[in-house]
Amino acid sequence: MGKNEKIVCRLKHFFLKRRHSFVNGNMMRMFAEIESPAKRRRRKKKEMTNSIEKSKSFHSSFPSVGKSTLLCNLAGVFSEVAAYEFTTLTTVPGVIRYKGAKIQLLDLPGIIEGAKDGKGRGKQVIAVARTCSLILMVLDVMKPLQHKKLLEYELEGFGIRLNKQPPNIGFKRKEKGGINLTMLVPQTELDLDLVKSILAEYRIHNADVTLRYDATSEDLIDVIEGNRVYIPCIYVLNKIDQISIEELDIIYRIPHTVPISAHHKWNFDDLLEKVWEYLNLIRIYTKPKGQLPDYSQPIVLNAERKSIEDLCMKIHKSLQKDFKCALVWGASAKHNPQRVGRDHVLIDEDVVQVIKK
């Protein structure tokens, strides 16, 4: 235990016995000053990200647009609801069951303009969004574009790219040889001089850059930074009970958008189906030897990691060591059942029986 930590422990032990809140308040401010910056960051992060690691979906919105009402009606979890802004001040997790799978939703404090710079605990809120598999951007249908642009600006300022793929740009640093630029397609913005000037800002003077499509300077910067996250996003337009049918028809044509009414529970089925589609999940049913398949509790896999090996890792790590083969029933099998190895790729609602050595 360091010298500062010993001082903190002694001061806390002495002053927490005092009844005067004025003294206690002043001393707690002293503790915050004595605490190391790293310890203070860990404490604040723990307060903000309790039960976050297993999250799947995150609600992002401006204050007072109905995201807490949406969580209450979708997951049956109480999150304080009122007609004023900043009702939600802490993380409120909830779980919904859909197609046999459990999807965790997080209701976090609303994001305001300047959140990426720390206003309204914005940095902590947006940091949680980076860990999620999907973002639900809840917008007021009466002013969706205004809120949408501001929220996207705040999220992009924290390195989050919505509904985008990582830039198809090759970038490799080297010790010598200067800047080597390879353009596989004609470029409208980038050229050798601009690429060199961008790299010079990062003090990079030796690198190989390959442009495989018509890229922008922002794409190149994202690749150089290397800390961007690419997350699917659904724009949830709430309060559709306040607009006309004609306006609703126009909203339905907007990409990545689902109109709902959280208060009246309208169009929740479309929203849940969209969430399932954007999470890109598949269900695999297991079959014990000599028994019927267990359809009540499917194993949920990401569609990008859906081999037999991934399934074994999901069940238990030790299953890989004892793995001999697997029997598969379903759309991925050429005949039912088919004996397959670790590399077999599964399809949604396949039935699998793992055979050990």
| CATH, residue 151 | 3.40.50.300
Range name among 142-156, 212-226, 304-318 with the lowest pLDDT average: 142-156
**Most confident by average pLDDT, 48-52, 68-72, 222-226:** 222-226
Q: Which residue has the higher pLDDT, 211 or 91?
A: 211
Domain count, the chain: 4
Residue finishing a domain among 278, 294, 310: 278
13: containing domain: 3-35
- Residue 340's alpha-carbon distances to 19, 281, 320, in angstroms, are 70, 22, 14
Q: What is the pLDDT of residue 36?
A: 52
Q: Please, which residues have CB within 8 angstroms of residue 91's CB and are 6 or more apart in sequence?
A: 48, 49, 50, 51, 52, 106, 107, 108, 128
List, for residues 289-343, the tens digit of each pLDDT value.
999 998 988 999 998 899 999 999 999 888 988 999 999 999 999 999 999 999 9
The answer to the question of residue 45 being in a domain is no
Amino acid symbol at 154: E
Residues 147 and 190 placed together within one structural domain of the fold = no
Q: What is the pLDDT of residue 24?
A: 44
The answer to the question of residue 257 being in a domain is yes
The answer to the question of residue 49 being in a domain is no
Examine residue 37 and say whether the peptide bond preceding it is cis (omega within 30 degrees of 0).
no
Cβ burial, residue 71 (10 Å; 0-12/13-18/19+): buried
Q: 62 pLDDT band (50/70/90 cuts)?
A: low
Q: How many CA atoms lie within 13 A of 62 on its CB side?
A: 21
What is the chain's length? 357
Average pLDDT value for residue range 5-16: 54
Residues 240 and 175 placed together within one structural domain of the fold = no
Q: 100 pLDDT band (50/70/90 cuts)?
A: confident
Residues 200 and 234 placed together within one structural domain of the fold = no
Main-chain phi, psi angles of 179, to 5 degrees: -95, 120
The answer to the question of residue 132 being in a domain is yes
Average pLDDT value for residue range 282-290: 93
* Residue 297, Ramachandran bin (φ over 0: left; ψ between -120 and 50: alpha; else beta): beta
Residues 222 and 238 placed together within one structural domain of the fold = no
The answer to the question of residue 40 being in a domain is no
Residues 160 and 261 placed together within one structural domain of the fold = yes
The answer to the question of residue 52 being in a domain is no
Q: What is the pLDDT of residue 40?
A: 53
The rounded mean pLDDT for the chain is 81
Find, among 327, 325, 323, 328, the residue nearest to 350 by Cα. 328
- The CA distance from 257 to 271, in Å, is 9
- The CA distance from 103 to 276, in Å, is 9
- CA dihedral (44, 45, 46, 48) in degrees, to 10, reads 90
Main-chain phi, psi angles of 170, to 5 degrees: -85, 130
List, for residues 49-61, the tens digit of each pLDDT value.
333 334 356 555 5
Residues 191 and 153 placed together within one structural domain of the fold = no
List, for residues 102-119, the tens digit of each pLDDT value.
898 888 776 766 656 666
SS3 assignment, position 55: coil
Residues 236 and 130 placed together within one structural domain of the fold = yes
Cβ burial, residue 204 (10 Å; 0-12/13-18/19+): middle
Q: Which residue has the higher pLDDT, 189 or 145?
A: 189
Residue finishing a domain among 241, 258, 278: 278
Examine the pLDDT at 18 and tell me if it is beyond 80.
no
Average pLDDT value for residue range 187-202: 95
Residues 152 and 235 placed together within one structural domain of the fold = yes
Residues 247 and 119 placed together within one structural domain of the fold = yes
Strand partners, 92: 107
Residues 295 and 333 placed together within one structural domain of the fold = yes
Residue finishing a domain among 278, 303, 318: 278
The answer to the question of residue 123 being in a domain is yes
Residues 136 and 152 placed together within one structural domain of the fold = yes
Chain centroid to CA 100: 21
Q: What is the pLDDT of residue 80?
A: 56
Residues 151 and 88 placed together within one structural domain of the fold = yes
- The CA distance from 61 to 146, in Å, is 12
Looking at the chain, the whole-number percentage of residues with pLDDT higher than 70 is 75
First to last CA, the chain: 50
* Residue 177, Ramachandran bin (φ over 0: left; ψ between -120 and 50: alpha; else beta): left
The answer to the question of residue 63 being in a domain is yes
Average pLDDT value for residue range 217-229: 95
